[in-house]
Amino acid sequence: MADVIDRRVARTRKALHGALMSLILRKGYEVITIQDIIDEADIGRSTFYAHYTGKEDLLRSGFQTLRALLMEAQRNAPVKRDGPHDEALGFSLAMFEHAREYRDVYRALVGGRGSVVAVNEIRQVLSEVVKKELSGVEDDDAVPRDVRVQFIVGTFLTMLTWWLEGKPRLTPTEVDAMFRRLVLDGVGPSIRVQH
């Protein structure tokens, strides 16, 4: 499959990713410099550029694991393609759980002073997943398919951000419930209640 990798290459890349993660937790992604990374990883400058074009490239390359996780979560989720279909959005709970496990990293990436790069990357991965999930659903005259995908992904990220920034007490299940409530029913019910 993947060509066999020279041990030195593997070691270098691992060191760089590790250094980036440490630094993200310590000072936030935006302000990190290449110098910081190679100092932390104890890797030569030219070696860095032999592997990545910059810190954005390095960050991006670290998202395969997340992608794999989501794809699998989607496969393992209870996809009962018949029934009341409250089991839709099979990815969400798994990802909320993943987010709690790596809370610090997620918060550093997705939170206030986070990285556009990371958020866009997550957005793209999620879009694929949701798109696949909606493939069995028939079209809607009012709202095009891709809008619905973006809506779902956007709402997910809204919840994720809100959760990580302020209310870490809530369990993944609780947050997931709110997420589903919003995505499926919107805020109409609670707004319109008051007459």
Q: Which residues would be at the binding site for DNA (CB under 7 A)? A: 4, 6-9, 11-12, 33-35, 42-47, 49-51, 53-55
C-beta of 61 vs 161, nearer to DNA: 61
Does 195 participate in binding a copy of itself (rule CB under 8 A)? Answer: yes
Token output for 114? 């986070």
Which residue from 66, 56, 65, 16 is spatially nearest to 37, judged by alpha carbons? 16
Nearest in space to 99 (alpha carbons), one of 166, 168, 47: 168
Closest Cα partner for 117 from 24, 6, 14, 10?
Answer: 24
Residue from the set 55, 92, 148, 164 that interacts with a copy of itself by CB under 8 A:
148
Q: For the chain, how big is the Rg over CA atoms in Å?
A: 19
| Cα separation, 129 vs 74, whole angstroms | 7
Backbone angles phi, psi at 90, to 5 degrees: -65, -15
CB of 139 to a copy of itself, least distance (A): 8
Q: How far is the CB of 44 from a copy of itself (least distance, A)?
A: 28
CA distance 136 to 139: 9
169 binds a copy of itself (CB under 8 A): no
Token pair of 77 as six digits? 């989720």
Min dist. Cβ of residue 99 to DNA (A):
28
Residue whose CB is less far from a copy of itself, 11 or 167: 167
If contact means CB under 5 to 8 A according to the sort of partner, which of a copy of itself, DNA, none does residue 1 touch? none
Give the residue with the Cβ less far from DNA, 47 or 155: 47
Residue 181 as a binder of a copy of itself (CB under 8 A): the answer is yes
Q: Which is nearer to a copy of itself, 72 or 146 (CB)?
A: 146
